[in-house]
Structure 1
């Protein structure tokens, strides 16, 4: 029986122009024997028309639509339609790097103690040049709690949450992405970090496109009352999960992460 890795992608009006590049980056992936991918594209609101930008003869592409709720609500709705035992995040304006899905699968199938993976990122500038994401950790195991420790000190994640690949039961336990106008993926990362070890690959896993229409360019993204509220809730969420997971025996973690 074929095993599935699900890629979940929210898309709104301005981002749909890049979605064919995202598809090409997925279609070029080489997976281990016995594996295939499905791509759950979620239109965030009416009038996005993502399907017309994508091949109509590829049954692995599953386009859905929901009321406008922002990228993290749409991403969670895509997760709700997915079937894979591992779930990979990809924004509509970004591109997967060659080999990343195979690397994610290799880690999660070989390490029962690891619940999620991330990868090195290059920013893709509008002129086609790339820039490195500064401050990556060492490759390998990310011990449970280490991502929160960095975030608490710097108020930003050390690893890029846009590269997350997560075991399905763990993602379901957290309810998907936090329903915030931005930073919902950071909230998910810190939730995952509270419950499980992660893994960082220093091979490039994502080209993160920089452009004028992305939500990170909004003035409220990194300052002001909205930012303060988002950061406060993300911290409260992470602290509560850390307290809850602290009463569990560490030996229970592999059972929590298995797919049933």
Structure 2
């Protein structure tokens, strides 16, 4: 029987035209024998704007709709339709680089004490060029707590990008999926994951992060000081509570 990694994508009307590029990046992925991917696309809403961009002739693609609640809600409700042991995030406007899924799976299959993986990111600019970032950590394991420590010291900037997460499905569901926040829901998940488990960073670029005028992180509401402070406070409080409770993954660690 084929083993699966589930790629989860939240999408809304403005980002739907980028789905074919995301799909093309999925089709470049080559996995080890006995493995395959499935793609669960969850619309944040129930419109007629997304379906035309969803691949119609690939049995590995699942499309669902639901009432709007933001990308975190869309991704979390998509978990009801996942069958893979691992869940990989892919935002509708981003693209995986060749080999990304295979690298993620190799790490997670080799070491059960690693709960999640991340990778280097390249910005995909409107003219098609890419740009990297300084300050990435070295390739290798990320100890529990290091993400929160860095995030607090660097004005809420995490050392790794949550849009590159590949997570053990049981760990993801145990934490309740993505946080119920209007933004930074993926950062909140990243902090919670690192509070209870070791992670991994791959120094090879695993994601092209599209920069465009419609992306959520470019909107004025995203940087509203009062809301931003509230989001960060809730995300930090959850991570610290998990640390204080002493829960770890795996449980017999």
* TM-score normalised by L of structure 1: 0.94
Per the alignment, residue 181 of structure 1 pairs with: 182
Partner SS for 2:37: strand
Per the alignment, residue 254 of structure 1 pairs with: 250
Report matched runs for 1:225-236 at 5 Å.
225-236=226-237
Determine if contact 1:169/1:256 at 8 Å carries over to the other structure: no
Whole-angstrom distance in 1 between the partners of 2:65 and 2:252: 31
CA deviations over 1:216-248 (Å, ceiling 9, x no partner): 011221341111110110111111111112xx5
Determine if contact 2:171/2:249 at 8 Å carries over to the other structure: no
Per the alignment, residue 193 of structure 1 pairs with: 194
Whole-angstrom distance in 2 between the partners of 1:30 and 1:256: 33
Q: CA deviation at 1:69?
A: 0.4
Whole-angstrom distance in 1 between the partners of 2:170 and 2:54: 30
Per the alignment, residue 211 of structure 1 pairs with: 212
Whole-angstrom distance in 2 between the partners of 1:215 and 1:188: 17
Report matched runs for 1:151-162 at 5 Å.
151-154=151-154, 155-162=156-163
Whole-angstrom distance in 2 between the partners of 1:65 and 1:134: 38
Per the alignment, residue 39 of structure 1 pairs with: 39
Q: CA deviation at 1:48?
A: 4.8
Per the alignment, residue 75 of structure 1 pairs with: 75
Determine if contact 1:8/1:41 at 8 Å carries over to the other structure: yes
Per the alignment, residue 107 of structure 2 pairs with: 107
CA deviations over 1:194-229 (Å, ceiling 9, x no partner): 000000000110000000000101122134111111
Aligned residue pairs total 252
Per the alignment, residue 8 of structure 2 pairs with: 8
Per the alignment, residue 149 of structure 1 pairs with: 149
Q: Which runs of 5+ in 2 are unaligned?
A: none
Determine if contact 2:143/2:199 at 8 Å carries over to the other structure: yes
The answer to whether residue 242 in structure 2 is matched with residue 241 in structure 1 is yes
Determine if contact 1:178/1:185 at 8 Å carries over to the other structure: yes
Whole-angstrom distance in 1 between the partners of 2:46 and 2:133: 34
Partner SS for 1:206: strand
Determine if contact 1:116/1:192 at 8 Å carries over to the other structure: yes
Whole-angstrom distance in 2 between the partners of 1:237 and 1:48: 37
Q: CA deviation at 1:80?
A: 2.1
Q: CA deviation at 1:255?
A: 4.3
Partner SS for 1:107: helix
Partner SS for 2:205: strand
Partner SS for 1:175: coil
Whole-angstrom distance in 2 between the partners of 1:197 and 1:90: 21
Determine if contact 2:8/2:41 at 8 Å carries over to the other structure: yes
Report matched runs for 1:23-38 at 5 Å.
23-38=23-38
Per the alignment, residue 95 of structure 1 pairs with: 95
Determine if contact 1:12/1:48 at 8 Å carries over to the other structure: no
Whole-angstrom distance in 2 between the partners of 1:98 and 1:186: 25
